[in-house]
Amino acid sequence: MPLARRAAAAERDLQEIAFHLAVRNRQPKAADRIIDELLAQVKMLAEFAPTTVMGTAAPELGDGVRLYAFKRWVVLFRYAPHGIDVLRFADGSQDYLSWKLD
């Protein structure tokens, strides 16, 4: 079964998203739901990795980087022999196109 590995930066992004929603916006249930939904999307990307190219190429972010939008969130990832490597998660309002991921 293909795997989705998350970089340390992606783990921090998930923590920041959860904190922002749960604490700052006082919506802990929404935070849990959004994190669960994002992780389900990542699982789906990994499962389809062997047969289907998903997301949009973003060569300006680094070799092989792809973007996958889900609701207001963006998953930045690369295909890998094991499935996918998740590099970062971003709020769609962030200037993630200026990030360098290599």
Task: Tell me the angle at which helices 8-19 and 28-48 cross, rounded to the nearest 10 degrees.
Answer: 150
**Residues in CB range of 56: below 8 A, 6 or more apart:** 66, 67, 68
C-alpha span between 77 and 96 (Å, rounded): 13
* Percentage of the chain exceeding pLDDT 70: 99
In the chain, the domains with their CATH numbers are: 3-91 (3.30.2310.20)
Q: What is the mean pLDDT of each run of 10 residues along the chain (102 residues)?
A: 94 96 89 96 94 93 95 96 97 88 74
Helical (H) or strand (E) element with 49: none
Quick one: pLDDT at residue 102?
65
